[in-house]
Structure 1
Amino acid sequence: MSETTHDGTVALSAFPPPDEGLTAAQLATKYGLTVSGARPSLVEYVRQLWDRRHFILAFSQAKLTAQYSQAKLGQLWQVATPLLNAAVYYFIFGVILHASRGLPQDVYIPFLVTGVFVFTFTQSSIMTGVRAISGNLGLVRALHFPRASLPISFALQQLQQLLFSMIVLFVIVVAFGSYPGLSWLLILPILVLQFLFNTGLALIVARMGSKTPDLAQLMPFILRTWMYMSGVMFSINHMLAGRSEAFIRVMQLNPAAIYMDLMRFALIDGYGASNLPPHVWAVAVFWSFVVFVGGFVYFWKAEERYGRG
């Protein structure tokens, strides 16, 4: 269909547009257009995270360096803070409340310090994770990158901080008569499993905190309750002596207690396998992978909503 004008030329307006009648979705498909900020597939999302592994590591190191940059003691606070916490807990629970029942002093002090350091690793990963998105909205809105990079980098930051603290922990353990042995080789798999568990929790609370910033104010109370239930300051076996076996096992299967007790078993000579629940390694692997995989998928499902609204 064409239309000739009075001067003999063909009017192009007489031809119907080639895309006439197509919907916006059909037009986007035809020309290969995608929604800005659309969530990629899970496999593609993992690939994007791997491509940005150097950014994740550099970001975590920068955050770790900046954490105490305004303090005169600087990075020494990475070790001093959990040590001071352990000293306070020892005075209250070890001296005043005698929570060391069943454990001699040469075991109780490294027992307590190990518990404080290991639980602080989980606690700090959650506290930084809950603000990973809501506290970095400028970065989230300005740059395109997989948002899971932020909670993962914060969990990695806490792992690096724990590694600094472990040097002091080794000194304390040796000072109380527990010397390096084959059991110390268990430290690496314990830290890997706990890191996966912590990262999964950080991803979960990061998504929750992105829409509910007030969660960051509530989280310290939740974590404090969890700490008191996890045997940081006392042995669950000895403190709950006389209770039903089923109740003791449920308390021991608490993931925070699992990773603390495994670390104590690895480091402290007087803390034997009788203090561990049955199938402890299977339980530790279960918690780490279920929470990590579940947390990762849960976070990924809201990828396109972070930083909006």
Structure 2
Amino acid sequence: MSQVLEAPPERTATPPTPSAPSAQELAARYGLSVSNARPSLGSYASQLWQRRHFITAFATAKLTTQYSQAKLGQLWQVMTPLLNAAVYYLIFGVLMGVKRGVPDYIPFLVTGVFVFTFTQSSIMAGTRAVAGNLGLVRALHFPRAALPISFCLQQLQQLLFSMVALVVIVLGFGLPVTPRWLLVFPALVLQSVFNAGLAMIVARLCAKTPDIGQLMPFVLRTWMYVSGVMFSLQQVTKGKHVPHAVHFALEHNPATLFIDLMRYALIDSFHANQLPHHVWAWALGWALFVGIGGFVYFWKAEETYGRG
């Protein structure tokens, strides 16, 4: 019996199954972007400007509610720095006698306390700007720099309330109103830019390491003592051998510069020879360096805020 051998049927090649596109490919195809991705620096600044009304309203609301539980309410905005000035006057002016050789010591002291408090409060507010508003940061999409900037604006508004008391004190001691009073405005603008930069720096640091906020009061207290808030640096260092580098650092300390500019503007007995050379150039340099540097430093970590 013969057997017929048949060749096996030819197999047709099966086309390979196309692989599924990756998530990155799908995102690129449909124009999707990473959530909370950091925008370019120019776009970030533009977004901040678009939300300027939110920044102003947020700062005003914070200022309004700050003393809402106190019976004296908003009067504490003026009373707090005045009480601090009274304590410093008792300790430094009376007990330690640093008021000797300083004309118009009380306006001199109150001006220093008010101006330094502006910087001090802005920095302390910056330590809580992101870390203390995580619910807002995680719930809404907005440039996070709006938070430290709004806190600085709040402190500026509080300083303007306090300036009313400062003007009353200056006039009460018989100091005249002079055209130099107009210098208050550019000095405050430069200090506000400087404070905002510092607030953004500490806001980023404290968002990652909250313990830094616990150290800031000690750092600020030390800074206050070397900034001539309660005494004249010229009187303290007069007749003493102070290394040139130390004297230069004390004289060009940004807090000292802004305090001296305000004293020069408001106090007639505070003369131009008590200011360091090129004082306005130094004040502008500090404001731009810290203001722009702090903004860029904060922007670089924009996508990390509220995570973890």
- TM-score band (shorter)? over 0.9
| 1:210-243 deviation line (CA, Å, top 9, x unaligned) | 0111122111111000000100000011111123
Q: Does 1:211 align with 2:198?
A: no
3-state SS in 2 of match to 1:147: coil
**Secondary structure, in 3 states, of the residue corresponding to 2:102?**
coil
Q: What's 1:25 paired with?
A: 24
Determine the structure 1 residue equivalent to 2:87. 88
User: Which whole-Å CA distance do the structure 1 matches of 2:100 and 2:295 have between them?
Assistant: 40
| Equivalent in the alignment of 1:133 | 130
What residue number does 2:198 align with? 201
Equivalent residue number for residue 179 of structure 2: 182
Match status 1:171 vs 2:168? yes
Q: Which residue of 1 aligns with 2:189?
A: 192
Distance in 2 (alpha carbons) for counterparts of 1:80 and 1:61: 19
Partner of 1:117: 114
Distance 1:112 1:305 in 2: 42
| CA RMSD in angstroms, aligned pairs only | 1.5
- The equivalences for 1:9-158 within 5 A come to 20=19, 22-104=21-103, 107-158=104-155
Counterpart Cα distance in 2 of 1:33 and 1:243: 66
Which amino acid in 2 is paired with 1:219?
M
**Unpaired runs of at least 5, structure 1:** 1-13
SS at match of 2:70: coil
Q: CA deviation at 1:263?
A: 0.2
Aligned to 2:298: 299
Three-state SS of the structure 1 residue aligned to 2:114 is: helix
Shift of residue 155, structure 1, vs aligned partner = 0.2
Shift of residue 30 of structure 1? 2.3
Once the two structures are TM-superposed, the CA of residue 249 in structure 1 deviates from its matched residue by: 2.5
Structure 1 window deviating more from structure 2 (298-307 vs 20-29): it is 20-29
- The answer as to 2:241 corresponding to 1:243 is yes
| Displacement of 1:56 | 0.3
Change (3 A) 1:49 1:227: same
Residue by residue over 1:32-91, the C-alpha shift from the partner in whole angstroms, topping out at 9 and shown as x without a partner, is: 111111000001101111111100000000000000000000000000000000000000
Q: TM-score, normalised on structure 1?
A: 0.92
- Post-superposition shift, 1:25? 2.5
Q: What is the distance in 2 between the residues matched to 1:216 and 1:66?
A: 22
Superposition deviation, residue 16 in structure 1: 5.5
Q: Distance in 1 between matches of 2:53 and 2:285?
A: 29
Partner of 1:131, secondary structure, is helix
Is 166-175 or 26-35 further displaced after alignment?
26-35
| 1:101–1:239 Cα contact (<8 Å) kept | no
Q: Which amino acid aligns with 1:62?
A: A
SS at match of 2:170: helix
1:11 corresponding residue in structure 2: none
The whole-number CA distance in structure 2 between the counterparts of 1:41 and 1:191 is 29
Q: Is the 8 A contact 1:237 1:248 kept in 2?
A: no
Unaligned runs of 5+ in 2: 1-14
Tell me by how many angstroms 1:26 deviates.
Answer: 3.0
Distance 1:179 1:245, change over 3 A: farther
Please state how far the C-alpha of 1:22 moved relative to its aligned partner. Answer: 4.5
> What is the one-letter code of the residue matched to 2:62?
K
1:194 partner letter:
Q
User: SS at 2:164's partner residue?
Assistant: helix
| Letter of the 2:101 counterpart | G
Is the CA contact 1:128–1:154 (under 8 Å) kept in the aligned structure 2?
A: yes
CA contact (8 A) 1:130 1:202 kept: yes
User: What are the Cα deviations for residues 150-208 of structure 1, in whole angstroms up to 9, with x where unaligned?
Assistant: 00000000000000000000010111121211100100000000000000000000000
Q: CA deviation at 1:125?
A: 0.2
Residue 229 (structure 2) aligns with? 232
- Farther-moved stretch of structure 1 (131-140 vs 25-34): 25-34
Query: TM-score, normalized by length of structure 2?
Result: 0.92
Cα shift readout 1:73-130 (whole Å, capped 9, x = no counterpart): 00000000000000000000000001123213xx111000000000000000000111
Same amino acid, percent of matched pairs: 66
